[in-house]
Amino acid sequence: MRTHNGDAARSFKGRGAGINPEGRFEQSRTDAVDDGWGTPSDSDGVAAASRITTQVTSEHAKSILSRNESPDIPFTLSINPYRGCEHGCIYCYARPSHAYLGLSPGLDFETRLFAKVNAAELLRDELARPGYRCQTIVLGANTDPYQPVEREYRITRALLDVMSACGQPVGIVTKNALVLRDLDLLAPMAARGLVRVYISVTTLDHEIARHLEPRASSPARRIEAIGELSAAGVPTGVMVAPVIPFLTDDAMEKVLEAAAAAGAGRAGYVLLRLPYEIKDLFNDWLQRHYPLKVAHVMSRLRQMRDGRENDSEFGSRMKGQGLFADLLARRFEAACARLALDRGRGELDTAQFRRPSKGGQLPLF
């Protein structure tokens, strides 16, 4: 039996989660109890802050393209170069996926990562298949393709190399200015109509972001990244995501204004979602960092989720429903219209796609 003792909550420097609860597929759970002989956090399975390091396991994936059938998401194909994400965003809807690995959606998700080192090879094979029909592939639909470990593993860059060579269009979603490292690839691809980048900005408040997204780039740096991408000719948008009632919702217009001033041409937003284990992780985070706001945040969220803390229904799960959800949507639409954040809505170019040869063999025809 693997134990996490996840109920011993505390804050760890540079980490979003304060607990490491068992995933929903585990058959047993262990709770930490203070018996008076020592500090629970010193004796449980969660290491002290100074000892929590990121562990990366190289993984040879069997497949690389994920297919989406949700009508709420405007793309079908995506690639996630990494499992888990070091950014540590407490609200990340990808956290529950770590339970499939027998790991916790809590601290495990942001400290025990898996790098798909053969991703570029798998992509090349996938694009070479006779049945493949070119359409935009999105990087970052689940975990961030530019999280800190990308500096060393460079898997996202290898994927972009393949896409550039094949004329494969790509969309990128990230909250890390590390994306600027690949401008030498992105700018030429943008000139060919093959790439679009969305930068996720939740708030402009550095203090909130420091707790909410501890290892992501600062909000100011993300806005600067939008400016540098736009200046290089890369079509860039901003995602105000997630919108958290009573914590970040009042910053929506400010984020949109800053992004538009930097050169963003498109925008989107997503209301906070709390599926599966995220509900407990987020509640614990609120109790540790904003205890006086817990009741207000959760009450307003339930009002926007038809009385529930989470809504999994297509059509409402991203935006919410009810009076407050409608007001949020109107605020967003009004700001986008005022700031002209609806430019460049054309599709990326699929006509340039050229199927690569598989295994280095040249095609006969």
* pLDDT tens for each residue of the chain, 365 residues long: 233 444 445 789 899 999 999 887 765 555 554 445 555 444 444 444 446 899 999 999 999 999 988 888 889 999 999 999 999 999 999 999 999 999 999 999 999 999 999 999 999 999 999 999 999 999 999 999 999 999 999 999 999 999 999 999 999 999 999 999 999 999 999 999 999 999 999 999 999 999 999 999 999 999 999 999 999 999 999 999 999 999 999 999 999 999 999 999 999 999 999 999 999 999 999 999 999 999 999 999 999 999 999 999 998 999 999 999 999 999 999 999 999 998 655 789 999 999 998 664 544 44
Token pair, residue 198, equals 């969305």
Beta bridge partners of 174: 199
Give the C-alpha separation, 171 to 187, whole Å.
13
Backbone φ and ψ of 250, nearest 5°: -75, -10
- Asked if 217 and 175 count as a contact pair (C-beta separation under 8 A), the reply is yes
Distance of CA 55 to the CA centre of its chain: 19
Question: Is the Cβ–Cβ distance between 238 and 255 less than 8 Å?
Answer: yes
- Name which of 265, 297, 267 is nearest 282 in CA terms: 297
pLDDT of residue 365: 46
How far apart CA 110 and CA 4 sit, in angstroms, is 15
CATH class label, 55-272: alpha beta
Nearest 5°: the CA angle 285, 223, 250 is: 50
d(CA 15, CA 283): 15
What are the boundaries of each domain within the chain? 55-272
Distance of alpha carbon 229 from alpha carbon 226, whole angstroms? 5
Listed in sequence order, the residues at least 6 apart from 357 whose beta carbon sits closer than 8 Å to its beta carbon are 128, 363
**Token pair recorded at residue 89:** 């965003």
Smallest CA-to-CA distance from 102 within 123, 84, 119 is with: 84
Asked if 105 contacts 96 with a C-beta cutoff of 8 angstroms, the reply is yes
Q: Pairing mode, if any, of strands 82-83 and 112-116?
A: antiparallel
DSSP conformation class of 68: -
| pLDDT for res 42 | 45
